[in-house]
Structure 1
Amino acid sequence: MTASSTRRTTAAKSRIAAVGAIAVAGALILTGCGDQTEGGGGSSTESAKANTAPLFSKLPKKIQDAGEIKVGTNAEYAPMESVENGKIVGVDPDLAEALGKQLGVKFTFTSGSFDGLITAVNSGRYDIAMSSITDNKQRQEGLDDKGKKLGEGVDFVDYFVAGTAIYVKKGNPEGVKGIEDLCGKTAAVQRGTTYETALKDQSKKCTDAKKKAIDIESFENDTEAQTRVKSGGAAAGVNDYPVALDLSRKADGGNAFEVVGEQYDAGPFGIVLSKKNTELRDVLKEAVDAIIKDGSYQKVLDKWGAQSGAIDKAAINGGK
């Protein structure tokens, strides 16, 4: 995801439809790997898991005993994660299911506010966050968009690549061709994302060039930003490229929005972990590499039309 607690920084069902389910579901919990055994921790159980899951023995003992990895997400980013028929679905839950087969544990997803995910990971509420979160130095070091220390940084295991996209109301009534055309116009965006930062950076470029600043309207959730664009209250919205593309294809049967221009500022999405949780971080990297190698990674991306974000190898803190 391109800004702050992320991407972000900085996604199959329509995200428009997802908002109602999210409002009702709130702290919805969904099991990503329901066929795995839950809880336990006895030696015989661990031995059985280790025999069937190649990386189980490398997990922290706490995760082995719990039989699960608690995942924080913001489920309104189809095709990456959204709510469909009361369940969290998408690229990330399906990748988590594939990872669970390597690790021998289930991934339990809980949907909450995007800009609170990193804090929730560092507080221990979640083991990881997986929600189209852009990996960048700002988040790694716990800095705000001005370089001021906000709190603890986090580590990332990078598993996908995406850039920022501009989407507009179908027909593009204000003739927006790219982010540079937003000077003096209103743009809608979700608060705490990397693309909110992208708008702020562009607005400064506008004023430096003696043009009017961008009127940036930031919302708690992205569905509100979409509604603002659809109503004509904003000339454009800014989002991750795969999310914007999915939105243009599916919202109102493809009649609500369109994407203008190409994606830019492409960067990695990462699984977020506390810097104290290096043992889990390292085995998750191994698991991502394993599902890339066995083909299950590509199958998930193909299923959701997210092939453009495929990577060849996982990385730790690969964002800039």
Structure 2
Amino acid sequence: MSALRKSIGRVGQTPAVLVLVVALAALVAACGSTAATNEASPTPSSGATVAEATWTEADLAGVETDPSLTAALPASIQSSGAIKCVSDIPYPPWEYFDPPDSTNPAGFDFDLSQALGKKMGVTVKFIDMPFDSILLAIKGGKADMSMSAMYDNEERQKAGFSFVDYTFDGTGILTLKGNPHGITGLDSLEGQTVACESGTTQQAFLTNLNKQFAAAGKPKMQILVLPGQPEALLAVKSNRAIADLTDYSTALDVAKTTGNGNVFEVVEDPAAPYDPQMDGIAILTKNTALVDTVQKALQALMDDGTYGRIIAAWGFVPVESVQVNAGPAYAASHVTKVE
């Protein structure tokens, strides 16, 4: 994360952040699985019963293609008729496989990507890839863009990426059910082993937090960096780590759906979610035709009500207008305006 909270202790929560908490909590109610999960495995699962009830294949078929957007796409995409969109799966409720033992993508990012493809008149191929390989794949020409709950921040922009921002999230602490280690907030993590997924903003968050611990004369954490969310959950379940730092929305969903809600819980801290951020569609900045066209397509979905329906189906926080590289500044101004 580009902007870590300056205070490590329990920080008072603004009404705006409270609105984000309520909205993300509503997400769990919207996305809770109706199917029993496998208690032997911590792999996250997320049922899509509510999303399917409010956003269906028939709804997708009803999205009207805009030929002017098709014509504005890069020539290579017009020729192939497809956009290669990479995503780290599973990471519910953003993306997951349905059923879990299949390779059929589902989730909020998937639904929105398919609507964008329909609006632009091309197929969006949703491709599974480890999170820490996503930006490298786009830079190397193996993919065109990514929708993977990725924060739009200054570091990634400086690395040559632009973000078409489409919702908000923040960071939460996920631990075992019953909170056996008595975690109350970030201070509780000092001197402990904490898991996170490689290449995420949570990894940077923990690294910066360790610097603050050291400056305050407190014992540093051992940061257990793992290749994916399933591995991070397994580390917590096997007591290799006392907690997993992950997106707040994902923490809520995992706690709700894994083992019928009996395996994990989200630490209740008035300061959470930590540092609300913008999530964006990552595209190479130099690929201006694709950045501009995706922005216009998303705005068109907003104008015709499609975006609102998908956002409501999954319970995420909507943006007011489609912007590029708005990042943390927009997130802060947005939540400030919400009373």
TM-score w.r.t. structure 1 length? 0.80
Change (3 A) 1:253 1:51: closer
2:219 aligned with 1:202, yes or no? no
1:234 offset after TM fit, Å? 1.4
1:268 offset after TM fit, Å? 0.9
Report the Cα distance in structure 2 between the residues aligned to 1:78 and 1:267, rounded to whole angstroms.
18
- For residue 244 of structure 2, the aligned residue among 237, 247, 251 is 237
1:298-317 C-alpha deviation (Å, 9 max, x unpaired) = 2222323x32x321112111
Q: Which amino acid aligns with 2:82?
A: E
2:131 aligned with 1:121, yes or no? no
- For residue 137 of structure 1, the aligned residue among 114, 129, 154 is 154
CA contact (8 A) 2:66 2:120 kept: no
Q: Indicate the structure with greater strand content.
A: 1
Report the Cα distance in structure 1 between the residues aligned to 2:195 and 2:306, rounded to whole angstroms.
36
1:2-55 C-alpha deviation (Å, 9 max, x unpaired) = 58xxxxxxx966794469xxxxxxxxxxxx99x89xxxxxxxxxxxxx975452
Structure 2 SS opposite 1:313: coil
1:133-162 C-alpha deviation (Å, 9 max, x unpaired) = 1111101112xxxxxxxxxx2111111111
2:110 aligned with 1:88, yes or no? no
Report the Cα distance in structure 2 between the residues aligned to 1:96 and 1:132, rounded to whole angstroms.
12
2:176 aligned with 1:165, yes or no? no
Residue 6 of structure 2 is matched in structure 1 by: none
CA contact (8 A) 2:248 2:273 kept: yes
Residue 279 of structure 1 is matched in structure 2 by: 289
After the TM superposition, which segments of 4 or more aligned residues of structure 1 sit over 3 Å from their partners? Answer: 11-19, 50-54
CA contact (8 A) 2:116 2:297 kept: yes
- For residue 310 of structure 1, the aligned residue among 318, 323, 332 is 318
Gaps of 5+ in 1: 4-10, 20-31, 37-49, 143-152
Q: CA RMSD in A?
A: 2.5
Report 1:142-221 matches (<5 A).
Answer: 142=159, 153-221=160-228
Q: Which amino acid aligns with 1:313?
A: S
Report the Cα distance in structure 1 between the residues aligned to 2:239 and 2:174, rounded to whole angstroms.
12
Say which structure, 1 or 2, has more relative contact order (CA 8 Å, 6+ apart): 2
Structure 2 SS opposite 1:289: helix
2:108 aligned with 1:98, yes or no? no
Change (3 A) 1:51 1:90: closer
2:70 aligned with 1:63, yes or no? no
Report the Cα distance in structure 1 between the residues aligned to 2:194 and 2:65, rounded to whole angstroms.
53
Change (3 A) 1:214 1:51: closer
1:274 offset after TM fit, Å? 1.3
How many percent of aligned residue pairs carry the same amino acid?
A: 34
1:224-282 C-alpha deviation (Å, 9 max, x unpaired) = 11111122221111001111111111011111111112201111111111122101101
CA contact (8 A) 1:229 1:237 kept: yes
1:89 offset after TM fit, Å? 0.7
Report the Cα distance in structure 2 between the residues aligned to 1:163 and 1:18, rounded to whole angstroms.
19
Structure 2 SS opposite 1:228: helix
Structure 2 SS opposite 1:55: helix
1:101 offset after TM fit, Å? 2.2
Gaps of 5+ in 2: 3-27, 46-56, 329-339
TM-score w.r.t. structure 2 length? 0.76
Report the Cα distance in structure 1 between the residues aligned to 2:248 and 2:75, rounded to whole angstroms.
38
Report the Cα distance in structure 2 between the residues aligned to 1:252 and 1:103, rounded to whole angstroms.
39
- For residue 108 of structure 1, the aligned residue among 125, 132, 140 is 125
